Structures are given as C-alpha cells and as structure tokens.
C-alpha cells in the first residue's frame, strides 16, 4: 500500500539506487580535487541536509562541516526572489576552500546570493556541488562545478526537498501531482 506521501506523487524521477551510485561518483571526484587541502563542506539548509550527510560519507576527505540556513520559496513552487538568512555560519571562513552543498539549483537566486556572500567573507575558493540542476528556470548566471542530475522543469520533492516543509523524508526524488499545490 502506498504511504500518504507517495499518494501525492505523480512519478519517481531519481531512484534510491541511482542516488547512491551518483553520490559515490561525486564523492570520488571531490576527493581527487581536494585531498590535502582541508576543505570546508558548507551545507545550505534545510534542503541539503540529506544529501550533505551522504556526500561527506561518500568522500573520505579530512575536512569539516558547516551549515547556513536560507530560504526564498515561502510555501510556493516559484522563488520569491528574496533570499533570507535564517541561521548564519558560526565560524570564520576566510582563507578556506569552500564546497557549497545544495540540493537544487533552479532560478539561481540562492547560489548567486551565497557566492557573493562567502566571497565578501574571504573564502579562498568556492566550489558548488548540487544534487539537482534545473537549467530551464535559471534567471541568474550561476553554474555548479559538480551536478548529480539535470532535471526537467517540474517541481520535485524528496531526499531533503520539500513542498510547504513536507516530503523531505521521501528517500528518492519524485514529482508532485499538480493538484497538491494548485491554488497556492
């Protein structure tokens, strides 16, 4: 029997097996780039919390982790265009090699904002890793250095990604039935 969350899904886009395989590849690529450089993994909450946990374990680098919480969607499926910092980083990042970990790059508002923000705080370098890239909706000129999967122009949930704060605990990536968010 389908769970109450699964009943809201129209289809599965990326399976658990596909996620596992791709994240192992991303971890390997990061290891090659950053071995010996003591990078700082910087997760963008809330959406990245599941991906971050799997990625840092797939990448056996000597490194530390930090988090920033930002939001811009406000219970909608399109960006408000305003990025709010809900919880800031708690350490000095000047001179550090940052690996920004995102669940999705969509309009680009969030990552364009964060790149500027961390550069003004003195990061030595910024590498962007996003699990999902949705290029069809880009309004800001920002690109990721490493992408897990390129996705079509559909609102996706699961594996950390929410709609109105729900569905983050689905263990794969799915597409919501439009009637779930109709009239938002």
Ligand X SMILES: O=P(O)(O)OC[C@H]1O[C@H](OP(=O)(O)OP(=O)(O)O)[C@H](O)[C@@H]1O
Catalytic residues: 106
Report the length, in residues, of the chain: 184
Binds ligand X (CB under 6 A): choice among 43, 47, 158, 174:
47
Is residue 32 exposed (0-12), middle (13-18) or buried (19+ Cβ within 10 Å)?
exposed
Of 22-30, 31-39, 105-113, 172-180, the segment contacting ligand X by CB under 6 A is: 105-113
Q: List Cβ neighbours of 2 (8 Å cut-off, separation of 6 or more).
A: none
* 71 counts as binding ligand X under rule CB under 6 A: yes
* 103 counts as binding ligand X under rule CB under 6 A: yes
Closest contact distance (angstroms) between CB of 132 and ligand X is: 9
Q: Which of residues 85-104 bind ligand GUN (CB under 6 A)?
A: 104
* 163 counts as binding ligand GUN under rule CB under 6 A: yes
* 127 counts as binding ligand X under rule CB under 6 A: no
- Helical axes 49-58 vs 16-34, angle rounded to 10°: 60
Q: Which residues is 143 bridged to in the sheet?
A: none
Closest contact distance (angstroms) between CB of 141 and ligand GUN is: 17
Q: How far apart are CA 59 and CA 175, in angstroms?
A: 28
Q: Report cis status (omega within 30 of 0) of the bond before 46.
A: yes
Of 30-38, 87-95, 107-115, 173-181, the segment contacting ligand X by CB under 6 A is: 107-115
Binds ligand X (CB under 6 A): choice among 107, 123, 156, 158:
107
* 73 counts as binding ligand X under rule CB under 6 A: yes
Q: How far apart are CA 157 and CA 118, in angstroms?
A: 27
**Residue (of 161, 166, 131, 164) closest to 149 by Cα position:** 131
Residues near ligand GUN (CB under 6 A)? 73, 104, 106, 155-157, 161-163
């Amino acid at each position: 029997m389908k769970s109450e969350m699964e009943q809201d899904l129209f289809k599965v886009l990326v399976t658990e097996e596909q996620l596992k395989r791709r994240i192992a590849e991303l971890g390997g690529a990061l290891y090659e780039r950053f071995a010996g450089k003591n990078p700082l993994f910087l997760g963008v909450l809330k959406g990245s919390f599941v991906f971050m946990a799997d990625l840092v374990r797939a990448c056996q680098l000597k490194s530390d982790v930090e988090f920033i919480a930002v939001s811009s969607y406000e219970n909608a499926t399109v960006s408000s265009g305003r990025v709010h910092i809900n919880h800031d980083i708690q350490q000095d990042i000047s001179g550090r090699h940052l690996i920004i970990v995102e669940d999705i790059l969509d309009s680009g508002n969030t990552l364009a904002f964060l790149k500027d923000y961390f550069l003004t705080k003195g990061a030595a370098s910024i590498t962007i890793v996003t699990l999902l890239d949705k290029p069809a909706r880009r309004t800001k000129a920002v690109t990721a250095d490493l992408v897990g999967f390129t996705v079509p122009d559909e609102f996706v949930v699961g594996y950390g990604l929410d709609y109105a704060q729900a569905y983050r605990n689905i263990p794969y990536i799915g597409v919501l039935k439009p009637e779930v968010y109709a009239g938002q």
